[in-house]
Amino acid sequence: MDSYPFPGTPKTPGCEPDLSSIDSGSQPQDGVTQDRQVSVADLYAEAYPLAIQAVQEDANGDHHTARLLYCEVCEIFIKIMKLLSPGQEHDLVQRKSDQYTMRAEAIWESRSASTGPVKDIKELPAYEKLAQEAQFAFEQAVAEQEKQHELGALDFYTDSADLFWQAWKDAPEGSIKDGLKQRLSDVMSRAEDLKGVAVNPTPLLKVKSSSTPVISGPSNLTRQELEVLKTTMLINNKKYHPWSDSDVKDLLREKGPFTDPDGMLALSDKQTSKFGSWKRVSQIMENPKMICLISSTSIVQDIVTDCSFVASLCVSASYERRWKKQPEESVMVDDYLPVSKAGTLMCTFSTNKNELWPSIIEKAYMKLMGGYDFPGSNSGIDLYALTGWIPEHLFIKESNFDMEKQWKRMVNGQRNGVALVTIATGHMTDEEADRLGLVPTHAYAVLDLKEVQGLRLLQVKNPWSHKRWKGPFSHLDADHWTDELKAELNFDQFAALKNDDGIFWIDYESVCSTFDTIHINWNLETLNHRAVIHAPWPCNYGPKRDNYNLGYNPQFTLATSVKGTRPCGIWLLLSKHITVTEENRDFITLHVFDVQKQQQNQDQSSLLSPTTPLSAISSSTTPTSATPGSFVSTMTTGRSKGTRIYYEGNSMIKGMYVNSPHILVRFEVPPGQNEYTIVLSQHVKTRDLHFTIRAYAVCEFELREIPNKYTIEKKYEDGWTEETAGGSSYNAGFLNNPQYRLVVPVLPAPQTMTSVLLMLESPKDYASHVQLVNSQGKRVSCVWTKDIIAQSGEYRHGFCYCEANDLRLVVSTFEPNQIGKYKLTLQSHIDLSLTPIPIEGAGMFKKVLRGEWVLGVNAMGWHHHQSFSYAKNPHFLVPITEMTTFM
């Protein structure tokens, strides 16, 4: 590989030898960079263009950008020196690193404030505006051509040529006109080369990549999903349509600078008090550029209360510098920015003069959120909006937080470029915050994670770009820093003491003791099996609380097929659609149930008699205690579209309720065929919601919504009274419990069977039970196992259900004399009728006579041939004067 002649700095040209004699093919020592085998050659190749750009920016007067680039080159040099053995090459790299370091420090010493008043810039001539639009169209054409969209690229080249021609006509004679003519010629040449390809495109053989996503379930949106997306397209009273490439062409057709038809954004109170005017970028910057240098250190949060979003920008910029990838954004905004009366920008800005991307991206997100008066969020949510990377929230203070496990996950994720990490503080007193150097309820970007010399350290940035940690490994710490550790981390403590840029080192143990939350956003592009379902969640469907009955909740069946012998990881993301920016009062979660284990825990109960007009079914229950919510009992007639869950207990994963719009659940499934039921749950339902559930995996799976298989529902309200509160079958009064006759009509051919679901809702203090019994048309006085068609299992507090098909229904409480109301719900495919059966003696006169048996006097037992004293038992005389029924 060719050697790299690293340049000297402009201020000290040739004062040091270049590195042209360095052999770029040196190999790393064993045990270095375990996850990604980076060679010295790779590092030289990464450092060289940065060094060239640093010297160029320095010579052009953009010293701030140059300093950032010099620092980045020096960090790469440190990595190179770790891989080199002592010798001439090592010394050359050291000297060049020292040279760049000295220049970076000199720039810092001579720095001028970059946050001063913005200057009013004269409006650009018409030909320059046209040239800028032409260049934009040219860049879009190149992008389309790279995507092999020849027709789209040709359109953009045509637009670019037209704009360059108009600019050339208006430009003054001289070098400017000559330059525009050359650009016009270049564009027209490209367009001519492309015409033959665009008119007669060669058919492409598309080969499916191993990373191509495989979509599970229906590929087309259902009518319900389309309605959900249509409803939630209106966000903060503004409609946001899906982004398409044609939107770019529409912008190019705009006459003059684009102005957002939605108007100016609402300002925060702090902004309003200092507000001067809205100004276009061209009015406040001499040579505006969207991106000069992607760097987390150049981003500064101003008075907008969006620390979580700015922390997200910082960590995204840090990732992009490391992995050379950039997120895409698709909210349309103009380039008006708020400027104060003193002439300073009142939004997030870059310390690189003329750089726009932090301000513009912030404006796009603030528009989506309703304006600069941002109520606050968390960085996991903001990063998901910026990048689409899946958010995971780790609550450090929770008892189930595994400190060791999460550190390994973060380090491995960042090393392999699949994780972005931010952290956030919780509430603290002013004294505590000042002592620690932290800001209460504030988000911080994690720029790096290191394991060095047995220590676990994080490099963190405060979005304010000032105010730093004061504890262990801070710039003030005199106990923990050693010369070896400083060299390992390229940390200049003396420079850090003089310069508060908001960046600091902190140990992982201090993070876990002083911060509240870790947010990790995961890039799941390698998980090529995916599924997405959009659905509504109406408030009036089912009870407000699902403590006892999950049956009305949205539920999904997940069927997995894992080949080989290793388990497969499943990622489930539940996202609530946000249409109004406000305090999130909806506490939601996901529960996961293993269907196979549910069935293994069930005991077979009884079979319907084969002589019954309805087909035989299997029914089973799970015997457990009567503790509320402690178990699941189900009775199924076979499953074709998933197994619906009614009881919360026995879940494989019991979710924790949080007021976040995104809930992530991860679990592993074993090899083979497996089935799971995913149940959504709210702590309390207060309003209609819309949501999206996404699943990701490397194995094959199918995700489908479990529909309500019954088309007819009837509700009956009744109660236990003094006469009918008979208790369980262990009590003599069981025969007095409310009983109903379930009438099943004759089914038309070819329909030969149906099923019914019965749900009983009762006071939560009552352990209740519902039972279907074959009683040959008579009222049930006692229950034999052979007569039980279906039952709800053990007595349960508040709610129970059974699913079967026939005849006599008994509802009871475990204890007798428990008086109260209940609601009985019947669901089926056909119109069944439920008729109360009167208790024995209903409508008859009742008289109670009391007495007692006394041993040796009138307690003589039952009548048999050896009993001569039977007549001494108590006798009663009942005079009857007419025909009657006596019980």
Enzyme catalytic residues: 307, 442, 462
Element (DSSP H or E) covering residue 741:
strand 739-743
User: What does the block give as tokens for 657?
Assistant: 């309720």
Cα 631 to Cα 799: distance, rounded to the nearest angstrom:
12
Report which of 407, 412, 493, 421 is spatially closest to residue 456, judged by C-alpha positions. Answer: 407
The neighbour count for residue 749, using CB atoms within 10 Å, is 6
Q: How many CA atoms lie within 13 A of 220 on its CB side?
A: 2
Tell how far CA 386 is from the center of its chain. 13
CB 630 within 8 A of CB 714: no
Angle between helix 40-59 and helix 88-109 axes, rounded to 10 deg: 30
In order, the DSSP letters of 834-882 are: EEEEPPTTTTS----------TTTT---S--TT-S-GGGS--------S
3-state secondary structure of 336: strand
Q: What are phi and psi of 606, to 5 degrees?
A: -155, 165
Pairing state of beta strands 529-537 and 214-215?
parallel
Q: What is the chain's Cα-based Rg?
A: 37
User: What does the block give as tokens for 272?
Assistant: 């309003």
3-state secondary structure of 779: coil
CB 849 within 8 A of CB 780: no
3-state SS string for 725-784? CCCCCCCHHHHHCCEEEEECCCCCCCCCCCCEEEEEECCCCCEEEEEEECCCCCCCCCCC
Alpha helices in 278-356 (DSSP H): 281-284, 307-323
The neighbour count for residue 807, using CB atoms within 10 Å, is 22
Distant-in-sequence, close-in-space partners of 156: CB < 8 Å, separation ≥ 6:
137, 138, 140, 141, 144, 249, 252
Cα 117 to Cα 345: distance, rounded to the nearest angstrom:
8
Is residue 492 classed exposed, middle or buried when 0-12, 13-18 and 19+ CB atoms within 10 A define those classes? middle
Cα 505 to Cα 449: distance, rounded to the nearest angstrom:
9
Q: Which residues on adjacent β-strands are paired with residue 620?
A: 604
Cα 765 to Cα 798: distance, rounded to the nearest angstrom:
7
Residue 99, amino acid: Q
User: What does the block give as tokens for 528?
Assistant: 């090529």
Q: What are phi and psi of 813, to 5 degrees?
A: -105, 160
Cα 79 to Cα 604: distance, rounded to the nearest angstrom:
66
Pairing state of beta strands 275-280 and 349-350?
unpaired
The neighbour count for residue 75, using CB atoms within 10 Å, is 15
In order, the DSSP letters of 190-257 are: HHHHHHHHHHSPPPP-PPPPTTS-EE-S-SSPPHHHHHHHHHTTEETTEE-PPP-THHHHHHHT-SSS
- Residue entry with tokens 């143990």: 509
Cα 609 to Cα 676: distance, rounded to the nearest angstrom:
32
Element (DSSP H or E) covering residue 75:
helix 63-83
Cα 216 to Cα 697: distance, rounded to the nearest angstrom:
10
Cα 590 to Cα 122: distance, rounded to the nearest angstrom:
57
Angle between helix 175-199 and helix 150-170 axes, rounded to 10 deg: 160
User: In angstroms, how far is the first alpha carbon of the chain from the final one?
Assistant: 108
CB 30 within 8 A of CB 125: no
